[in-house]
């Protein structure tokens, strides 16, 4: 079964203000679009298509980082944009259509939608009951009538469909049709639609003040976890050491089954610790020949991917290198930059520093070096 995801991100978001369209602005430190891409990828979407406006390709690529997405150019209406996205998506068995302006989507909601389609529904969407009373007004906001809220719900996205159903429904629409809701398109073609419990975090970013509201909602639903890691390696024959992804010329090398990058090994253990996922040796056994001489970037990317799959977000990492030599200071900024690059973190959220043991112990005698690290993650409670 293939699951395809289509994110509609072609709007200009004028009501939200700001210099950038709202889907590319930052929310809790990450571009709005990236939140949805990450959640869909972590929930098992095999292919993700993002429909963008004219000349927005670079903004979209920058927003999602190294995630594998396909870009499609949207049209003058949402219906035209969805058509373009469906064409780019291909023949997925299940199709998820999502608004980029709803970044609070979680893997839990996505998986529930997929299960509902698997159970036989033609379409499905998250929805919330109405708690406020409803009134009809005229153009001057004068009340002219009441609306009973019984039987009414607030529908959110993503909206999930059997692929064949939604493709046929859009194919049957007139070429100039403009429909704001994909459920309406599916129902118009006879599909049975099932609503599932929604989530307040799936609110749509529309106005400037919505950003602060959603940040609070997302923060309240998450907890902070901190992990620590430690690693040490002996010096041996060689002409360089690898520390935090940077090759440093030295009159000795570090002995290890992989490249012996103690800084990144400690950081991997710190991330795994915050996730409750064991230690680096349980994921990359030192006796396994496939890891002999391996680049520790592989280990670090693996730990970051596990965090993403758990719905966790790396907030900050701190590495301390413990050695008399080589001198870390001249290479510190390069180490920070490489670590930030691999983890997809802004540079201010990566710390690398060094200390000595005042010539005491094995590091003081120059027999080897050590590293310790902490990683701070936020994740759903």
CATH code (residue 36): 3.90.550.10
Average pLDDT in the 309-334 region? Answer: 93
For residue 143, being part of any structural domain is answered with: no
Q: How confident is the model at residue 308 (pLDDT cuts 50, 70, 90)?
A: confident
Q: Is the pLDDT of residue 339 over 70?
A: yes
Reported as a pLDDT band with limits 50, 70 and 90, residue 15 is low
Specify the pLDDT at position 112: 95
**Does residue 178 share a domain with residue 226?**
no
The answer on pLDDT for 184 being more than 70 is yes
Would you say residue 138 lies in a domain? no
Give the residue from 334, 361, 123 showing the smallest Cα distance to 246: 334
Q: Is the pLDDT of residue 42 over 90?
A: no
pLDDT value at residue 175: 86
Q: Quick check: is 163 in a domain?
A: yes
Are residues 202 and 238 located together in one domain of the fold? no
Final residue in a domain of this structure, among 220, 235, 262: 220
- Quick one: average pLDDT of 327-339? 96
What's the pLDDT band for 13 if we cut at 50, 70, 90?
low
Contacts of residue 256, defined as CB under 8 A and 6 or more positions apart, other chains included, come to 233
pLDDT at position 293 is 85
Range of the domain at 232: 222-380
**145 domain residue, yes or no:** no
Residues 321 and 281 in one domain: yes
Average pLDDT over residues 338-356: 95
Q: Note whether 255 and 202 are same-domain residues.
A: no
Q: Is 170 part of a structural domain of the chain? A: yes
CA–CA dist 322, 338 (Å, integer): 19
**Is the dihedral angle over the CA atoms 27, 377, 315, 31 positive or is it negative?**
negative
Q: Where are the alpha helices (DSSP H) in the chain?
A: 32-42, 57-64, 78-89, 107-118, 163-172, 182-188, 210-220, 262-275, 280-283, 297-309, 332-343, 361-364
Residues 158, 240, single domain; the answer is no
Last residue of a domain, one of 220, 244, 264: 220
Higher pLDDT, 322 or 344: 322
pLDDT in tens, 61-105: 999 988 889 999 999 899 999 999 999 999 999 999 999 999 999
User: Which residues contact residue 12 at a Cβ distance below 8 angstroms, ignoring those fewer than 6 apart?
Assistant: 21, 53
| Pair (214, 301) in one structural domain | no
Contact 371, 282 (CB under 8 A): no
Give yes or no for a contact between 355 and 319, defined as CB atoms under 8 angstroms apart. no
Would 41 be classed as within a structural domain?
yes
Q: Do 18 and 92 share a domain, yes or no?
A: yes
The pLDDT of residue 312 is above 90: no
Handedness of CA 19, 22, 24, 29 (dihedral sign): positive
Mean pLDDT on 203-229: 87
The domain spanning residue 361 has which CATH number?
A: 3.30.1330.50
**164 confidence band (pLDDT: 50, 70, 90):** very high
Residue 9 has pLDDT above 90, yes or no: yes
Q: What's this model's pTM, rounded to 2 decimal places? A: 0.66
Asked, for residue 333, whether it belongs to a domain, the answer is yes
State whether 226 and 213 are in the same domain. no
HEC sequence for 272-303: HHHHCCCCHHHHCCCCCHHHCCCCCHHHHHHH
Per-residue pLDDT of 252-285, as tens digits, reads: 999 998 999 999 999 999 999 999 999 999 999 8
For residue 309, pLDDT beyond 80:
no
Q: Which of 198, 209, 202 is nearest to 101 (CA)?
A: 202
Q: Are residues 189 and 287 in the same domain?
A: no
Count the domains in the chain. 2
Of 194, 220, 246, the one marking the end of a domain is 220
- 62 in a structural domain: yes
The pLDDT of residue 220 = 64
Q: Whole-number mean pLDDT of the chain? A: 92
At residue 181, does pLDDT exceed 70?
yes
Residues 311 and 375 in one domain: yes
The residue assigned the tokens 């990683």 is: 375
108, 248: one domain: no
- Both 157 and 169 in a single domain? yes
Reported as a single tens digit per residue, the pLDDT across 100-139 is 999 999 888 999 999 999 999 999 999 999 988 999 999 9
């Amino acid at each position: 079964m293939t699951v395809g995801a289509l994110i509609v991100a072609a709007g200009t978001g004028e009501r939200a203000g700001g210099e950038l369209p709202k889907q590319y602005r930052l929310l809790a430190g990450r571009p709005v679009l990236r939140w949805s891409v990450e959640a869909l990828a972590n929930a098992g979407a095999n292919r993700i298509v993002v429909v963008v406006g004219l000349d927005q390709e670079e903004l979209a690529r920058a927003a999602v980082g190294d995630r594998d997405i396909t870009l499609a150019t949207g049209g003058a209406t949402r219906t035209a944009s969805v058509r373009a996205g469906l064409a780019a998506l291909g023949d997925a068995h299940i199709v998820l259509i999502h608004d980029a302006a709803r970044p609070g989507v979680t893997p839990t909601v996505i998986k529930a939608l997929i299960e509902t389609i698997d159970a036989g529904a033609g379409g499905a969407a998250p929805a919330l009951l109405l708690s406020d009373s409803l009134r009809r007004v005229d153009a001057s906001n004068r009340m002219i009538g009441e609306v009973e809220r019984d039987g009414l719900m607030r529908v959110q996205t993503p909206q999930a469909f059997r692929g064949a159903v939604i493709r046929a429904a859009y194919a049957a629409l007139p070429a100039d049709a403009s429909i704001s809701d994909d459920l309406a398109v599916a129902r118009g073609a006879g599909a049975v639609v099932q609503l599932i419990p929604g989530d307040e975090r799936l609110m749509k970013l529309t106005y400037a003040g919505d950003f602060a509201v959603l940040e609070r909602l997302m923060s309240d639903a998450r907890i902070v976890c901190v992990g620590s890691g430690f690693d040490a390696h002996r010096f041996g024959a060689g002409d360089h050491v690898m520390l935090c992804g940077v090759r440093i010329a030295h009159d000795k090398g570090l002995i290890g089954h992989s490249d012996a990058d103690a800084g990144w090994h400690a950081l991997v253990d710190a991330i795994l610790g915050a996730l409750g996922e064991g230690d680096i040796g349980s994921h990359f056994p030192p006796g396994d020949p496939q890891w002999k001489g391996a680049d520790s970037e592989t280990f670090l990317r693996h730990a970051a991917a596990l965090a993403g799959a758990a719905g966790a977000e790396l907030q900050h990492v701190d590495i301390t290198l413990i050695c008399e030599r080589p001198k870390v200071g001249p290479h510190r900024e390069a180490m920070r930059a490489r670590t930030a690059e691999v983890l997809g973190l802004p540079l201010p959220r990566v710390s690398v520093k060094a200390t000595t043991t005042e010539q005491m112990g094995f590091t003081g005698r120059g027999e080897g070096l050590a590293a310790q690290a902490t990683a701070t993650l936020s994740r759903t409670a």
